Structure 1
Amino acid sequence: MILITGASGTVGGLVLDRLPTGGAVRVLARNPARVTVSRPGVEVVQGDYGDQDSLRRALRGVRRALLVTNRVAGDDDALFIRSACRAGVEQVVKISAAAVVDERADDLITRWQRAGEDLLLSSGLAWTLLRPRSFMSNALSWASLVRSESLVRALYGRSPNACVDPRDIADVAVRALTESGHAGRAYTLTGPQPLTAHEQAEQLGQVLGRPLRFEELDPAQARISLLRSHSEPVAEALLRSALRQQAGAKAQVLDTVREVTGRAPRSFRTWAQDHASAFAPDTR
């Protein structure tokens, strides 16, 4: 039995969709209605990391689990790992972040991810760590302005990031969940090249067949934008992370996706082509 958490999110849903058919799969979801993958062998159970009874039910009979947490500075990792140990889970595959291996990264989000990794590594469970660079799908935050004004706004638009397609993260996760040989491994996952936001906007415009204008946000403007969807501590952590990117800390390209899956990571242009409809003008 494989347990998937975060199935209504970016990576968890892709992992669930890619798991081989025929095996027993269980999904833990706060809101089962948000889990869109439905196929034979997939059981969806309602539960929450803070509800130990629901965790115990979800983990019963599970051998391997995908752990996705997103409550920054919360104790969801600790709650899940403790329950997994009690349930006799053999291996946990955790989605972490590439920044944890950068000694210069000391923002709130990175400290939280490091703490979650440390809990898993000291738990006695077999583990696999997936440490992706920024998601290419973060570009979806531009969709509204691209549709309405052919405009992209970003902070430090000339700073490079070797962002990764979430589908590549999911493909590596599926390997770790279904194959032997991945326990005790930490995989840092990047795309095939570092790109700046300006370059991403240019490629996206080429895919869409229309030029996109680019406007540079200053830090004050970026802070205001981030506070619309994040708490102040998380917004400040993201701003500090952007400063590290400006200094070149996120430009390194690794061939981990190819090493694990046997194929090259997807390019941003490929991601843009496959998601072009999200940026198309509303013609209704």
Structure 2
Amino acid sequence: MILITGATGTVGRQVLDRLPADLDVRALTRTPPRVVTTHHRTEVVQGDYGDRASLDRALRGVRSAFLVTTRVAGDDDARFLAAARAAGVQHIVKLSAAAVQDPQADDLITSWQRANERLVRSSGMAWTLLRPRSFMSNTLSWAPAIRSDGVVRALYGSSANACVDPRDVADAAVQALTGTGHHSRSYTLTGPEPVTAIQQTRLLARALGVALRFEELSADEAVAAWTRRHPEPVAAALLHSARRQLEGAKAAVDPTLVTVTGQPARSFATWSIDHAAAFSAGSPSARSE
């Protein structure tokens, strides 16, 4: 049995659909009706990291687990790992972040991810760490402004990021969960080339067949936008991360993904074409992939 946490999220739902059809899979989520998957041997269970009894139920009989946590500075990883160890889980595949390798990245989010990695490595279970660069799907947040105004607004439009397609991260997760040779390994996952927000705007315009313009946000404007969605400490961490990107810290391309999955990393141009409908007029609100 394989357990997938974050089963309705950016990567978790992609992992569900990509797991071999002959495997028994369990999906842990707070909202079972939101789990939609093509994997027909998936058991959906309701649970929460703060509810130990629900974790015990979800982990019963599980051999490997895909662990995703999003509550920055929270203790969800510690809670899950304690329950997994007690349940006899053998292997944890943890979704982390590429920034943990950057010694200059000391923001709240990255520090939290480093602490989570230490917990996984010291858990007593076998582990694999997935460290993706920023997701290409983060650009879905631009969809409302593209549909209404034909404009992309972002901070530091000329700074480059070797962003990765979440589908590629999911493919790597499936390999780690089902294959051999992945224990005690850490994988940095990037796209095939660094791209800037200005370049992404051009590629989206080409995929949509419309004219788009890019408008640079000031740091204050970006922080104000982030603060509407996140607590202030998280917004501050995002600004620190953006400044690290401006300094070139996120532009490096890593070849690990093709080694793990056997397939070349998808480009942002490909991602744009495949997701053009999310940016088109009449599309429902963008959903994170």
Q: TM-score, normalised by structure 1?
A: 0.98
Question: How far apart, in 1, do the equivalents of 2:283 and 2:168 lie?
Answer: 32
- Structure 2 match to 1:256: 256
Q: After superposition, give the CA deviation of every residue in 1:219-262 in whole Å (9 maximum; x if it has no partner).
A: 00001110111110100000000000000000000111111111
- CA offset at residue 283 of structure 1? 8.6
Q: Which residue of 1 aligns with 2:127?
A: 127
Post-superposition shift, 1:53? 0.5
Partners of 1:135 and 1:261 in 2: CA distance:
17
Within the alignment, does 1:178 sit opposite 2:195 as a pair? no
CA RMSD in angstroms, aligned pairs only:
1.1
Q: CA deviation at 1:107?
A: 0.2
Residue deviations 1:95-147, cap 9 Å, x none?
A: 00000000000000000000000001011110000000000000100001111
Counterpart of 1:33 in 2: which secondary structure? helix
Give the aligned residue type for 2:281: P
Per-residue CA deviations over 1:49-105 (Å, capped at 9, x if unaligned) read 110011011101100000000000000000001111111100000000000000000
The Cα shift of 1:213 comes to 0.5
Aligned partner letter, 2:164: V
CA distance in 2, matches of 1:202, 1:38: 33
The Cα shift of 1:36 comes to 1.1
| Residue in structure 2 matched with residue 35 of structure 1 by the alignment | 35
Matched, 1:166 2:162: no
Consecutive unaligned residues of structure 1, counting only runs of 5 or more, are: none
Matches within 5 A, 1:40-59: 40-59=40-59
Identity of matched residues, %? 63
Equivalent position SS for 1:158: coil
Question: Aligned pairs, how many?
Answer: 284
Contact 2:15 2:171 in 1 (8 A): yes
**How much has 1:40 moved relative to structure 2?**
2.8
Whether 2:246 is the aligned partner of 1:246: answer yes
Normalising by the residue count of structure 2, what TM-score does the alignment of the two structures yield?
Answer: 0.97
- Measure the CA separation in 2 of the matches of 1:279 and 1:112: 32
TM-aligned CA deviation for residue 169 of structure 1: 0.1
Question: 2:101: which partner in 1?
Answer: 101
Given residue 94 of structure 2, which amino acid in structure 1 is its aligned partner? K
Match of 1:151 in 2: 151
User: How far, CA to CA, are the matches of 1:183 and 1:282 in structure 2?
Assistant: 46
Which residue of the partner structure matches residue 7 of structure 2?
7
Residue type of the partner of 1:65?
A
CA gap 1:39/1:194 in 2 versus in 1, 3 angstroms: closer
Residue type matched to 1:213 in 2?
R
Distance apart, 1:39 and its partner CA: 4.2
Q: Which residue matches 1:112?
A: 112
- Structure 2 contact 277–283 (Cα < 8 Å) conserved: no
Q: Which runs of 5+ in 2 are unaligned?
A: 285-289
